């Protein structure tokens, strides 16, 4: 956008007269900040000191097990559990949220009951129930309800510990995701679905193309939370003998009794995956924020690059303002 | 009640574009429309004025199947709105039949209601591709022509939030026109705009009226109603109180309620 001539003229007029003298005042002192900073520094030094000098941390043990095959296999199972359970949870959440908002009272009520049940019982109990499903139903069949069955399987073979963990975590997650998706759908203005309907779009098209993409902005942050929470909740699968990260290190320390070092191994891996997920969430949020702000903020990488390329020029030029008014 | 059409071509076809007879609409116990009679001929521009809460917007929403009517009859282009008559019985239309009819009626809203997650171009091509099933290339071609006519050719890749209200409303008009509607409904299209942006939107609507589009415009712009409208309808308390040529109604209202309203707004 070209600078309007009036403002150029105004700038020249200002330059002609001498600028007023710069202010040099004594800044306010903040002794409290110095004290607080000193306390934090001392505490941090104590932490580093104990990490280095306390030999019971056994750092050599930690590093030797950090990338051991058994730990990595456990990590794989943890990631698999997290991804599959979240996928089930999100798909189920969308279906339950749409049911909950349906005009059909039976659909809405059954969604409500599902959420009530799965949020109302501990996920650990749910995992144990799925693990012991064979007690309730020794045989599982597919067929016509109340009629003949075509396929029958032994529940003990069908519901492996891993399958029980995925079912337990995924179905439980669905209840939480349903409320998150519902909040997202409700956050989209009524006018949006009216405009879509006025254009002749069906209710399904309106939901898929107009409502859900906008609801994503509200849905993504809590879903990121849920994913990180799922990563750690998946360690509950250790009680039903799924060899995920926690159970993998438990199996190791039950033999060599290096309990704390191996728990630290697991914790470091949990922290690494959480960091990766947090970064991923940032970029997904950014993608769905398109159109919601006039100008997207720069990503950390873009900021670093801009800083490196323009570090000699101060200050960096602001992004180009989009034209706000009709050109007239 | 029949109206003489002003600048339109009444002889073009016998069936009116919109015909309402004793139309009633209730929200719970609240009667919003209490017996509307209205006739809109092809190529006619009808402006609807009246105090807020008089049922103007509800009337438009009924015509576009966004609301179900409770009593009376409403026809658009000779076909009943919302129902099919067969052997003296009324059958509710299925969703697919209703969406097909909505696709033939364009609607422009007070708050534009552009899709904020789509660019200007994507806003305009969405319904033609998804609803009418025309190819993306053809849809883009047509969208560019419409945006060009609206003076928005250089904003096709912008997001709605990056545009002024006036620009957004002109995109909204182009989006509705992209469906090639036979009838355009305007629900207070300039009420949410800054005063200096109203002119561009009214110009786009005048352009459309000149091209022969049948239009129903709920508005507070008396100047527009006088110059562009063939007919002016004054609504109050769920009824069409008075209709006639805009100049006549504005200058010499025959009803006391019309006179009282006009004395406040003119």
Q: Which residues of A touch B (CB under 8 A)?
A: 189, 191-192, 194-203, 205, 209-210, 213-214, 288, 290-294, 322-326
Which parts of chain A are beta strand (E)? 139-143, 149-154
* B187 contacts in chain A (CB < 8 Å): none
SS (H, E, C) B149-199: HCCCHHHCCCCHHHCCHHHHHHHHHHHHHCCCCCEEEEECCCCCCCHHHHH
pTM summary value:
0.78
In 10 A of CB A155, how many CB atoms? 15
Which chain A residue has its CA at the smallest distance from B161's CA?
A294
Contact B176 A199 (CB under 8 A): yes
- The DSSP code sequence of A46-111 is HHHHHHHH-GGG-HHHHHHHHT-HHHHHHHHHHHHHHHHHHHHHHHHHHHHHHHHT-S-HHHHHHH
Residue A229 to residues A181, A264, A278, Cα–Cα distance (Å)? 17, 18, 12
Q: What is the ipTM of this complex?
A: 0.88
Residue pair A172/A118 in contact (Cβ under 8 Å)? The answer is yes
Chain A: closest CA distance from residue B250 (Å):
32
* A198 contacts in chain B (CB < 8 Å): 64, 66, 102, 105-107, 109, 176
- Cα B65 from chain centre: 12
Cα A162 from Cα A85, distance rounded (Å) = 11
* B126 contacts in chain A (CB < 8 Å): 199, 201, 209
How do residues B127-179 score in pLDDT, each as one tens digit?
999 999 999 999 999 999 999 998 999 999 999 999 999 999 999 999 999 99
Which chain B residue has its CA at the smallest distance from A209's CA?
B126
**pLDDT tens across the length of chain B (266 residues):** 444 444 444 444 579 999 999 999 999 999 999 999 999 999 999 999 999 889 999 999 999 999 999 999 999 999 999 898 888 898 999 999 999 999 999 999 999 999 999 999 999 999 999 999 999 999 999 999 999 998 999 999 999 999 999 999 999 999 999 999 999 999 999 999 988 889 999 999 999 999 999 999 999 999 999 999 999 999 999 999 999 999 999 999 999 999 999 998 87
- Chain A to chain B Cβ contacts (< 8 Å): 88
């Amino acid at each position: 956008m070209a600078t309007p001539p009036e403002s150029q003229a105004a700038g020249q007029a200002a330059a002609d007269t001498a600028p007023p003298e710069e202010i040099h005042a004594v800044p306010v002192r903040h002794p409290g900040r110095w004290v607080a900073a000193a306390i934090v520094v001392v505490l941090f030094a104590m932490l580093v000191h104990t990490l280095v000098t306390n030999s019971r941390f056994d750092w050599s043990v930690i590093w030797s097990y950090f990338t051991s095959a058994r730990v990595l296999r456990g990590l794989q199972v943890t990631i698999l559990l997290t991804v599959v359970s979240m996928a089930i949870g999100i798909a189920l959440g969308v279906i339950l949220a749409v049911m909950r908002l349906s005009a059909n009272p039976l659909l809405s009520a059954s969604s409500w009951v599902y959420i009530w049940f799965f949020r109302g019982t501990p996920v650990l109990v749910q995992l144990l129930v799925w693990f012991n499903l064979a007690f309730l139903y020794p045989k599982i069949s597919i067929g016509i309800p109340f009629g003949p069955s075509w396929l029958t399987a032994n529940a003990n073979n069908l519901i492996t510990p891993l399958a029980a963990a995925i079912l337990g975590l995924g179905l439980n997650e669905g209840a939480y995701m349903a409320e998150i998706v519902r909040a997202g759908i409700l956050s989209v203005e009524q006018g949006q679905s009216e405009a879509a309907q006025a254009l002749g779009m069906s209710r399904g098209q309106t939901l898929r193309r107009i409502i859900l993409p906008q609801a994503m902005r509200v849905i993504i942050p809590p879903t990121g939370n849920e994913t990180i929470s799922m990563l750690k909740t998946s360690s509950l699968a250790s009680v039903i003998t799924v060899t995920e990260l926690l159970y993998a290190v438990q199996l190791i320390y039950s033999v060599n009794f290096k309990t704390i070092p191996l728990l630290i191994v697991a914790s470091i891996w949990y922290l690494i995956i959480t960091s990766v997920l947090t970064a991923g969430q940032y970029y997904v949020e950014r993608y769905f924020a398109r159109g919601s702000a006039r100008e997207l903020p720069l990503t950390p990488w873009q900021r670093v690059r801009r800083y490196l390329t323009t570090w000699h020029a101060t200050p960096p030029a602001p992004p180009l303002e989009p034209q706000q008014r009709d050109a007239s | 009640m029949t109206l003489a059409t002003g600048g339109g071509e009444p002889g073009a076809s016998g069936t009116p574009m919109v015909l309402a007879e004793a139309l009633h609409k209730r929200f719970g116990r609240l009667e919003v429309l209490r017996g509307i009679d209205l006739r809109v001929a092809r190529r006619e521009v009808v402006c609807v004025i009246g105090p807020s809460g008089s049922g103007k917007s509800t009337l438009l929403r009924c015509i576009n199947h966004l609301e179900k009517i409770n009593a009376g009859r409403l026809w658009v282009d000779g076909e009943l709105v919302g129902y099919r008559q067969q052997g003296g019985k009324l059958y509710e239309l299925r969703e697919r039949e209703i969406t097909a009819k909505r696709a033939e009626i364009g609607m422009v809203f007070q708050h534009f209601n552009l899709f904020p997650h789509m660019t200007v171009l994507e806003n305009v091509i969405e319904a033609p591709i998804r609803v009418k099933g025309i190819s993306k290339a053809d849809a883009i071609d047509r969208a560019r022509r419409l945006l060009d006519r609206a003076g928005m050719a250089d904003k096709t890749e912008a997001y709605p939030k990056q545009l002024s209200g006036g620009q957004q409303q002109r995109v909204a008009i182009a989006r509705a026109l992209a469906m090639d509607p036979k009838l355009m409904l305007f629900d207070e299209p300039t009420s949410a705009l800054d005063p200096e942006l109203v002119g561009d939107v009214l110009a786009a609507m005048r352009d459309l009226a000149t091209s022969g589009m049948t239009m129903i415009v709920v508005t507070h712009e008396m100047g527009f109603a006088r110059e562009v409208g063939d007919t002016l309808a004054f609504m109050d308390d769920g009824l069409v109180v008075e209709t006639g040529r805009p100049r006549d109604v504005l200058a010499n209202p025959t009803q006391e309620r019309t006179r009282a309203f006009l004395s406040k707004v003119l």
